[in-house]
Amino acid sequence: MQLGISTASFYSRMLTEDALTTVKELGADVCEVFLDSYCEYEPDFGAVLYERVRELNLEVLSVHAMSQQFEPQLFSLSVRQREDALKLMQKVLTQGRLLGAQRMVFHGPARLRGAVRNAQYKRIGPIVSDLADMAGDYGIRLAWENVSWCLFSYPEFVSEIMDYIKSDNLGFTLDIKQAVRSGRNPFEYLEAMGGRLCHVHLCDYDLSKQDFGLCLPGKGTFDFGRLFKTLDSSGYDGAAMIEPYSDIYGSVEEIGDSLAAMRLINGEM
């Protein structure tokens, strides 16, 4: 299993292209590129990222966009909103293909009070299935992530939505911090995702502390040894990216220490 760092870890601390340099300086050879805003979906910026990645000899395994900027509108009842959102997603996929990414992390519909019609599985399932097939046209797998404030916030959601999914190109991303923020054990999501798990976001926590005690991997109480052993025994061939919120650590060097700790644990499995 490849261990790397997501540039989302440096959100608001530095520009995306500069975050790539920091990722390499911290010792990672693989990464996830988090696109912060609309200008970063454009071809000119893709060229900047491509050159930076090539100079650094980094391998981009996944792309992740600021989902609130277009993903909710992919499920809108407005045709125009859906069409505009689809164009934005295609731009993100184009960036991913240019960078050689294998996955696109996807949040899907948010849980909005009163938006009952948008939450109907029989309506959103086929939409997601079509989006997954579209991602496949770019050589990228759509990796639906569990997120506390989105429709996919609980493990049982996987079996509920899969009745309406036909695409073989839909996978899932396990996000540890989002699982905890949802009040559930991360291993419940791992079991629910089964063979469709294709990406992992690493963070740590200590539930005895305020606000879930979110922290860098290796600084909390989560059992990474069990996680890596479970992934290994299941034949998991995806990647695991360190992806903390940028306000839960001090210096960026701490992320490098966390990566080293995860490599040590993974090497022991």
Task: Domain ranges for the chain, please list them.
Answer: 2-267
- CATH 3.30.365.10 assigned to domain 2-267? The reply is no
Span 202-210, average pLDDT: 95
Q: How far apart are CA 117 and CA 76, in angstroms?
A: 10
pLDDT, position 55: 98
H/E run at residue 46: helix 43-56
DSSP, res 215: B
Q: Are strands 239-242 and 197-202 parallel, antiparallel or unpaired?
A: parallel
Average pLDDT, the chain: 95
CB 60 within 8 A of CB 101: yes
pLDDT of residue 115: 53
Question: Which residues are within 8 A (CB) of 156 and not within 5 positions of it... i.e. 6 or more apart?
Answer: 192
pLDDT of residue 268: 61
**Rg (alpha carbons) of the chain, rounded to whole number:** 18
* pLDDT greater than 80 at residue 50: yes
Average pLDDT of the residues in 136-155: 97
Tokens of residue 146, six digits: 């569990």
57-90 confidence digits (pLDDT tens): 999 999 999 988 999 999 998 999 999 999 999 9
Q: What residues contact 83, with CB distance under 8 A and at least 6 apart? A: none
Element (H, E) at 22: helix 16-25
The two three-digit tokens of residue 91, written as one number: 């731009």
Residue 269 vs residue 189, higher pLDDT: 189
pLDDT for res 204: 98
Determine the pLDDT at residue 171. Answer: 98
pLDDT of residue 254: 98
Tokens, residue 76: 């809108």
Is the pLDDT score of 27 beyond 80? Answer: yes
pLDDT at 269 over 80: no
Instruction: Tell whether the model's pLDDT for residue 222 goes beyond 70.
Output: yes
The yes-or-no verdict on residue 243 having pLDDT over 70 is yes
| pLDDT tens digits, one per residue of 117-135 | 555 889 999 999 999 999 9
Q: Is 177 exposed, middle or buried (0-12, 13-18, 19+ CB in 10 A)?
A: buried
* Letter string b/e over residues 40-70, b meaning 16 or more CB atoms within 10 A of that residue's CB: bbeeebbebbeebbeebebbbbbbbbbbebb
Q: Label residue 96 by pLDDT band (50, 70, 90).
A: very high
User: What is the average per-residue pLDDT within 209-226?
Assistant: 96
Counting beta carbons within 10 angstroms of the beta carbon of residue 199, is it exposed (0 to 12), middle (13 to 18) or buried (19 or more)? buried
pTM of the complete model? 0.95
The pLDDT value recorded for residue 119 is 59
pLDDT band at 111 (very low <50, low <70, confident <90, very high): confident
Q: What was the pLDDT predicted at 44?
A: 98
